[in-house]
Amino acid sequence: MNWAEVLYEVKKKLAYFAIFLAAAFAVLWFVADKIILRMKQDLLPKEATLIVTSPMEYVMVKIQISLILCALLTLPILAAIVLGRLNMKFKVTSIIWLFFAAALLAAGFSFTYFFLLPLAIKILTGFATEAGIETFFSLSQFILFAALTTIIFSIVFELPLAVSWLAINGIVSVAALKERRKHVYVGTFIVAAIITADPTPFSQILLAIPLIFLYEVSIISAKIFGKKA
């Protein structure tokens, strides 16, 4: 196959990919309304109100949601393309890694969306309510806060997988992880205290426990997959 044929095949695949993205965006544009409504029902406290502060804000939020979901839809396609180029040994290994990565990502998303976000927003809104101040959230800022928090904690849930990879390559050891355990525990509770801003330890413990659990799982994974001395 000469360069002209290669370029033609690339252009054809890119054209199909562009058509797919355009069709996906069109569908997701209409789905975005339901996503916004669902997030409002799941995350917004009763004492708070969502507002838009400019004529284009709602439209821009829908565009952003549609683009983010389009980007997520491309990940399985890109993964399939990469896997198709690998030999059988690396393909099986990669599929296993991708499976655990997807499972941890789903766990991180579920924990953040169904537990952490409602708790954090309720506590933060409570400060204004106790001060006798009405709470109005800009739609774009509300969605941005929810999206960034979800993304950050979903990535944090990939910690055991990242540590496993580092252990396999001899970059970290079980001894080093155990040595830093106390520091991690203290740091976790400090971060939990900042995020929850709750004077009682209940919320801090609920948030810190999953993070500490992830660290302990990381130690176990390092012990299993790490290079033997």
Q: What is the pLDDT of residues 11-65, one digit of tens each?
A: 887 888 888 888 999 999 999 999 999 999 999 988 889 999 999 999 999 999 9
pLDDT at 9 over 60: yes
The more confident residue out of 206 and 55 is 55
Torsion of CA 125, 126, 128, 130, to 10 degrees: 170
Q: How far is CA 161 from CA 10, 99, 164, 177, in A?
A: 34, 11, 5, 14
C-alpha span between 75 and 78 (Å, rounded): 5
Rg (alpha carbons) of the chain, rounded to whole number? 22
C-alpha span between 142 and 121 (Å, rounded): 10
The whole-number pLDDT of residue 47 equals 84
C-alpha span between 119 and 149 (Å, rounded): 12
Vertex 54: Cα angle to 48 and 60 (nearest 5): 90
